[in-house]
Each structure stands twice: as structure tokens, then as C-alpha cells.
Structure 1
Amino acid sequence: MTRFTPAVAFALATLAVASAQPADELKGAAGKWTVTKAALGGKDVTKAFKGVELVLAPDGAYTLSLSGETDKGTVKVDAAKTPKQMDIIGNDGPNAGKTFKTIYKLAGDTMTVCYELGDGPRPTAFESKAGTKVFLAEYKRAK
């Protein structure tokens, strides 16, 4: 089985590069998040990601922790696209130097993010099909 690193969890879990950050969008996503559901390549991997802790800052910085490993970086959102797009850029940790293309939706205290973890195109639907490197994660805001 594939070894999961923190960024795979935020890139896995848990914003297309826009010239300026939409402040309201980032404020709405700011906070601490935990994984409630996860699928990779069409398989349920929720159990492997139950320990993920994702913290998003209003300025687009993120910290993701999983199994004692920490990944840090930034997210860039393009909320004008449908579905909304996010690029996750690893700066420090196992995903330093990597960029993950995602789509996302935010509904109250639930955030769903669909990541392309390989070299494929950005996902266009919130699904993880067998034989792909698409990771689909649902996060709940920690209280």
C-alpha cells in the first residue's frame, strides 16, 4: 500500500493560482479541519487519514500534520472557476517544491477537496475513480 505523507493528506487534503487571493474565500476556509471521508483511486482510505489535522490561515498558509510528519505551504484559490479551484504549494516538509491541482467546495463546516496527486489534469468532478491518482477528501471544521 502507498505510504501517505502529510501533504498527500492535504494534497491531501486540505486552494488555480489567482493573481490575488480572494480574502473572503480564504477567511471562510480558515481554521482547523479533520478528515471525515477519504478515497484514493476509487478505494476508501478514510481509516488511514483519520489522524489528519489541517490548519488553514486567512492569508493562505497551511500546516498539515499526520503521523508525526508536518507539511507546510500555501494555497492559492480561484473561486471564480466552476468548480472552484485551489493550488496547494508545499514549502516545507515531504511535499516541499510540489504543487497539487485541486477543486474544492465549502459548505458551512464541511469542505470537500478533490486532488490530482499525479501528473494528470486538474480534477473536474468530485470523484475518485479506480486506476487514478485522484484523492477525494471531506473535511469537517474542528470545534
Structure 2
Amino acid sequence: MLNGTWLPIAQEIGGTQLPATAFEKQKLIIKDSNYTVFAESIDKGIARYKDRKMDIYGKDGVNAGKHFTAIYIYQNKQLTICYNLMGNNYPEAFDTKGKPLYFLAVFKKSK
């Protein structure tokens, strides 16, 4: 269900909505437990999924050696992921307000 190329349609960090120009050239590719993010640079790693939670381990790129935690939901043909960039616990909700190290992204699958 998560395999494919995903294009961001909305992003926010710390409760602040990012303008579309900030992510218009980004994409996320998921293939089983491997991911690749194309943004300002390329980031690759492994994601483990269980009970709508993700553990994301950066292997190559700017996030190499980092561990992020996240929650996700797939509904209405959109994938929403809320990341805790500190990686010390999972977000409890899809909300970043008042949490400067929480990043939320909403994706649609590329055709």
C-alpha cells in the first residue's frame, strides 16, 4: 500500500504551514522497507512499520546515522506522516503546533 512515488501536497513544522514552493520539487519513494527522499539533497534509508508507527533510519545523505520516529495514516488516497525529528518518542497526534521538532507531510501518490 505504501510502495510507490509520493508527492507532497502540504507540509508544516512546529505549527507553521510551509509554502508550496518549499516542497514543489520534493518526492518520497517507498519500496518495501527502503525509502528515498529527493529534496534539497537525496536522503536514503530504511523504514520499519508497525501499528501505524514508523521508525526511520537514515543510511545515506544528510540524515545518515539518524533515527526518526513517526506516525502515519493512509486514507482518501493520501499518506499523512507526522515525524518527531528528535526521535525520542512517537507523536501522539497529527499535529505540530507548539512542537518545533515535529514535521507533518501530506502526500498524494504519483501516477
The alignment's TM-score, normalised by the length of structure 2, stands at: 0.91
Residue identity matched to 2:67? T
Alignment-derived partner of residue 65 in structure 1: 38
CA displacement at 1:62 relative to structure 2:
0.7
Map 1:47-86 to 2 at 5 A.
Answer: 47=20, 48-58=22-32, 60-67=33-40, 69-79=41-51, 84-86=52-54
Cα shift at 1:50 = 2.2
Residue of structure 1 equivalent to 2:89: 121
How many residue pairs are counted as aligned between the two chains? 110
CA distance in 1, matches of 2:19, 2:91: 20
Please tell me whether residue 132 in structure 1 is matched to residue 100 in structure 2: yes
SS in 2 for 1:126: coil
- In the other structure, the counterpart of 1:32 is 5
Runs of 4+ in structure 1 deviating by more than 4 angstroms, as ranges, are: none
Comparing 123-132 with 91-100, which one deviates more in the overlay? 123-132
Q: Percent identity?
A: 35
* C-alpha distance in 2 between matches for 1:46 and 1:105: 22
In the TM superposition, what whole-angstrom CA distance separates every residue of 1:14-65 from its partner, at most 9, and x where no partner exists?
A: xxxxxxxxxxxxxx1000001001110000114212221111002x111111
Is contact 1:43-1:130 (8 Å) kept?
A: no
Matched with 2:58 is: 90
1:102 maps to which of 43, 49, 70? 70
Q: Distance in 2 between matches of 1:128 and 1:54?
A: 20
Could you list the runs of 5+ residues in structure 2 that have no partner in the other structure? none
Q: Supply the AA of the counterpart residue of 1:52.
A: Q
Write 1 or 2 for the structure with the bigger share of helix: 1
The answer on whether the counterparts of 1:71 and 1:93 sit within 8 Å (CA) in structure 2 is yes
- Computed over aligned residues only, the root mean square deviation of the Cα atoms, in angstroms, reads 1.4
Structure with bigger strand share is 2
